[in-house]
Amino acid sequence: MTSKTSLDKSKIKFLLLEGIHPSALQVLQRAGYTNVETVSGALDAEALQQKIADVHFVGIRSRTQLTEAIFQAAPKLVGVGCFCIGTNQVDLNAARERGVVVFNAPYSNTRSVAELVLGEAILLLRGIPAKNAAAHRGGWLKTADNAFEIRGKTLGIVGYGSIGTQLSVLAESLGMQVVFHDVVTKLPLGNARQAASLQELLSVSDIVSLHVPELPSTHGMVGAAQIAAMKQGSILINASRGTVVDIDALASALTAGQLLGAAIDVFPVEPKSNKDEFQSVLRGMDNVILTPHIGGSTMEAQANIGLEVAEKLVKYSDNGTTTSAVNFPEVALPEHPGHNRILHVHQNRPGVLMAINQVFADNGINVAGQYLRTDEKVGYVVIDVDTQSSALALEKLSQIAGTIRCRVLF
């Protein structure tokens, strides 16, 4: 599979889905990319397959599934921007094998999630969701029964990464004790401590909050057995991914009164748009805060994400830099004044690099700069050449066996 692109900016097409913040559009336009289509929601597979056929860069959030079939339908695609943290909605291998670079925003919404979780913990400890629901129906639940301060309570954080650590610091500032569980040994912040196991965390925590990525190993990691191991009267919060918690098991534990309450922001199946009905066995439970996957949805976070990811796409499109790509060899490149830059993505197997260099020797093309990074599957070579040599070099490099994609930047 070989393809070539060497387009001026007005011909490079961007498709931004799922209501990505206008800050992204501004970055693209400032950088000279005017061919940008924005769509407020996600597209279903069929509509996306049609629309993506002539697109070079696509921007998505968590609702758009970029599957192998979608990549097959996108011969011109060179880059994906996930305007969020999670990249589980993208088949990262399918992208890499086609030379499509995927970027995300690993930090911009972490504070928003941490703040939401803390707010929910306070509200649930006081029984506010149920009191609020009752008041809306004309009820008056004035009681201190089962209402607690957050001070002195133990917060169990599962997944001590960017969000988990922020939450840890904020929780301690409120006087909480923090215990965390992670598959990696992590430096505890403040007075937090790493639990010996998930089991231990569940057994000591008043509130358990989940912050792991969607992975095969996190699928169903909180099921009936783990919920049963939680303290009587404790609280479960999930703002990670819907596949992490067995919702039926959670509903049973809430009905049985084992848990005081829960806050769930992410679900195994989420509505495709704001017009579709949300279905869950948790609907109607007054001690459960249900939110529509908005942990990271604040104006601040979305504006920052728009800037961050759009800048990464622009940088890759302008000069080939792949720094912080989630599926691709990372190369930080200088500018290339006075030269054309060729980007060559190839299968990482013996002989390809030699063939690349042979092209320059055989054709008398002087190399002004060369940069290489590989991973186990893919090699990414960037070569700066004299402007008059780039067409010939592009033609010859594109013919090398093992070439996935070759294009030139002016």
Ligand X SMILES: O=C(O)CC[C@@H](O)C(=O)O
Q: In this complex, which beta carbon is closest to ligand X, that of residue 162 or of residue 389?
A: 162
Q: In this complex, which beta carbon is closest to ligand X, that of residue 246 or of residue 308?
A: 308
What residues contact residue 173 under an 8 Å CB cut-off, 6+ apart?
none
Query: Between residue 86 and residue 105, which ones bind ligand X under the rule CB under 6 A?
Result: 86
Length of the chain: 410
Residue 169 makes contact with ligand NAD by CB under 6 A: no
Residue 217 interacting entry, from ligand X, ligand NAD, none, C-beta within 5 to 8 Å by type: ligand NAD
Residue 62 makes contact with ligand X by CB under 6 A: yes
**Residue 103, Cβ density class (10 Å: 0-12 exposed, 13-18 middle, ≥19 buried):** buried
Q: Determine the Cα–Cα distance for residues 89 and 249; give it in Å rounded to an integer.
A: 25
Residue 205 makes contact with ligand NAD by CB under 6 A: no
| Cβ neighbours, 10 Å, residue 4 | 14
Least distance (Å) between residue 335 CB and ligand X? 31
Candidates 154-162, 320-328, 335-343, 361-369: pick the segment binding ligand NAD (CB under 6 A).
154-162
Q: Is 406 helix (H, G, I), strand (E, B) or coil?
A: strand
The single-letter code of the amino acid at 258 is Q
Q: Determine the Cα–Cα distance for residues 377 and 383; give it in Å rounded to an integer.
A: 20
Q: 62, 305 in Cβ contact below 8 A?
A: no
Inter-axis angle of helices 110-125 and 299-319, nearest 10: 160
Q: In this complex, which beta carbon is closest to ligand X, that of residue 117 or of residue 176?
A: 117
Q: Determine the Cα–Cα distance for residues 131 and 146; give it in Å rounded to an integer.
A: 12
Residue 110 makes contact with ligand NAD by CB under 6 A: yes
Q: Determine the Cα–Cα distance for residues 25 and 34; give it in Å rounded to an integer.
A: 9
Pick the catalytic residue: 241, 336, 346, 407?
241
Active site residue 346: no
Q: Which two tokens stand for residue 335?
A: 């500018």
Q: Which two tokens stand for residue 167?
A: 């939450």
Least distance (Å) between residue 109 CB and ligand X? 5
- Using the rule CB under 6 A, which residue among 64, 109, 209, 321 binds ligand X? 109
- Using the rule CB under 6 A, which residue among 129, 261, 296, 329 binds ligand X? 296
Residue 346 interacting entry, from ligand NAD, ligand X, none, C-beta within 5 to 8 Å by type: none
Pick the catalytic residue: 96, 98, 293, 336?
293
The beta-strand segments (E) located in 272-338 are 288-290
Candidates 73-81, 136-144, 239-247, 328-336: pick the segment binding ligand NAD (CB under 6 A).
239-247
Residue 295 makes contact with ligand NAD by CB under 6 A: yes
Q: Determine the Cα–Cα distance for residues 103 and 126; give it in Å rounded to an integer.
A: 40
Q: Determine the Cα–Cα distance for residues 20 and 303; give it in Å rounded to an integer.
A: 9
Residue 268 makes contact with ligand X by CB under 6 A: no
The residues annotated as belonging to the active site are: 241, 270, 293
Binding site for ligand X (CB under 6 A): 61-62, 84-86, 109, 296
Binding site for ligand NAD (CB under 6 A): 85-86, 109-110, 113, 158-164, 181-184, 211-215, 217-218, 221, 239-241, 265-266, 293, 295-296
